[in-house]
Structure 1
Amino acid sequence: MRVYNGDLKLDEAALRKLFLRQLDNVYCIKKHLVKILPSLADKASFPDLKNAILENADQIKLQLLRMDVIYKIYNATYKDQKCIGVKTLSLEAYVASRIEKQLPVERDLALLIHLQITESVEMAYFNVLKNIAASLNNNEVETLLQQNFETAVSSMKLYELIAKEYIA
């Protein structure tokens, strides 16, 4: 531990360990989304929503590549995680999309709610990881995480715009 303004603060090794554990968590989320998003896109009735979901899946592949670079920078590898929370959200979205006697717009809005919640989780992860990278004085990692954060923000904004089409 190190001292900062009279308070205990994690030393660099502990901070790095925390960083990699949280990177594993968001990596797990992204791997899961790459698998599940195409099936969620199939459930969407609005072409713009289908395209947005599939575009997001492609963007996630780029985010995963950036995270692979981060692992290399730290001479680390992804350690498999459960990411049960996001998997549960995905399952809820899938189940919500299969409810019978549901209008297509209701199904699409249910998907959009779950997609936006997932994006907000990703944004939080990338923002915190970026701050930890800054504390570790790693500009390259900070930049890669900023790019992933901006991608998540972009996806969130797109989902919000599509949702407004339904409710406006």
Structure 2
Amino acid sequence: MTWYVLLVLAVGAERLAELAVARRNTRWSLERGGIRYGQGHYPFMVALHTGLLAGCLLEAALADRPFLPWLGWPMLALVIAAQGLRWWCITALGPRWNTQVLVVPDLPLVTTGPYRYGWLRHPNYVAVAVEGVALPLTHTAWITALTFTLLNAALMVVRIRCENTALATASNAAT
């Protein structure tokens, strides 16, 4: 289980790196007149993502979940793929990427990277959903995977509505 603890800690370190990028990008957005939206759901999102990491470790240890190679290796591959997609999104959005909903008026929508194709408007949330299933299931923590998935689905309804409203408001202000 030591390698699993290291994996979860590595994902936690990745989250801290995201927060550092988000802080820098928040300053960039606010300096350009960025407007915050949906602050009410943000603490729940932080708690949910923190709970995912804690749940992975606690369930695997306390419930004595085994590593099943036929499940664990494919799930590990999905965790790695989710990280790749997440950082592709962060790179494509550049200083506009954030953990909060912040929109700088008068900027066009990003149409590069995973946003280029238009068939998936929120690819970062695909990465979050995949990781939320795959990270726990890497060590058969199925209760954590199920709990996170259900709570995240409810949160994504709120979050995506918030982002779509924010982007539409910014687009309308620009025209």
The 8 Å contact of residues 32 and 87 in structure 1, kept in 2 or not, is answered as no
Contact (CA 8 Å) 1:123, 1:152: kept in 2 or not? no
Letter in 2 for 1:89: C
Q: Specify whether residues 32 and 158 from structure 1 end up closer, same or farther in structure 2 by C-alpha distance, changes over 3 A only.
A: farther
Structure with bigger helix share is 1
Distance 1:116 1:35, change over 3 A: farther
Q: 2:123 aligns with which of 90, 96, 117?
A: 117
The partner residue of 1:163 within 143, 162, 167 is 167
Residue type of the partner of 1:161?
T
Helix, strand or coil at the partner of 1:48: strand
* Matched residue, 1:6: none
Q: Percent identity?
A: 5
- Give the CA deviation at 1:30: 4.3
Partner of 2:84: 84
TM-score relative to the length of structure 2? 0.50
Find the counterpart in structure 2 of residue 147 from structure 1.
151
Displacement, 1:106? Answer: 0.7
CA distance 1:162–1:93, change in 2 (3 Å): same
Q: Which letter maps to 1:73? A: E
What is the deviation of 1:162?
Answer: 0.4
Kindly tell me: are residues 165 and 143 of structure 1, through their superposed partners in 2, closer, same or farther at Cα, counting changes over 3 Å?
Answer: same
Q: Is the 8 A contact 2:28 2:95 kept in 1?
A: no
**Are residue 47 (structure 1) and residue 35 (structure 2) matched?**
yes
Which consecutive unaligned segments of at least 5 residues does structure 2 have? 66-75, 98-103, 116-120
Task: Give how far 1:120 is off.
Answer: 3.6
Residues 66 and 156 of structure 1, relative CA distance in 2, 3 Å threshold: same
RMSD of equivalent CA atoms: 4.7
Matching residue's letter, 1:69: G
Tell me the CA shift for residue 95 of structure 1: 5.4
Residue in structure 2 matched with residue 14 of structure 1 by the alignment: none
User: Counterpart in 2 of 1:16?
Assistant: none
CA distance in 2, matches of 1:23, 1:148: 18
- Give 1:118 shift: 1.3
The answer to whether the 8 A contact 1:96-1:110 is kept is: no
Q: Does 1:71 align with 2:57?
A: yes
Kept in 2: contact 1:26–1:122 (CA 8 A): no
Matched residue type, 1:48: R
Query: Is the 8 Å Cα contact of residues 105 and 170 (structure 2) preserved in structure 1?
Result: no
Query: Kindly tell me: are residues 120 and 149 of structure 1, through their superposed partners in 2, closer, same or farther at Cα, counting changes over 3 Å?
Result: same
Aligned AA for 1:62? A
Alignment TM-score, normalising by the size of structure 1: 0.52
Give yes or no for contact 1:120–1:156 (8 Å, CA) kept in 2: no
